[in-house]
Amino acid sequence: METAGTSGSGIQPGGAVVLAACSLPGSPGGYLFALSARDGSLLSRLELPAAPAFDGLAVAKGKVFISLQDGTVMCCQGSGR
């Protein structure tokens, strides 16, 4: 699992979040999770169409960018793309 931390992102304005991307063995896709840094509660979950690339998470200007193993780069803000 890969994680990246941020504060005040578009996922939870004004709050710190932990991002985690993972894929499951035998599954072509994966998931991007946003968790509360305060208590670990699930804030958001996004099903990915392909497995996430290693070291492929970035956060800039309140948006989350994630690279996938099929070459796709997704930009997420809030609960949608």
50 secondary structure, DSSP code: S
Length of the chain counted residue by residue: 81
The pair of structure tokens assigned to 33 is 């999770």
- Encode pLDDT of 22-61 as tens digits: 888 888 899 999 898 889 999 889 999 999 999 999 999 8
Q: Provide the whole-model pTM.
A: 0.72
Torsion-angle region of 78 (φ positive above 0: left; ψ -120 to 50: alpha; else: beta): left
**Which domains are assigned to the chain?**
2-76 (2.40.10)
State the pLDDT confidence band at 72, using cuts at 50, 70 and 90: very high
78 secondary structure, DSSP code: T
51 secondary structure, DSSP code: P
Assess whether pLDDT exceeds 50 at residue 16. yes
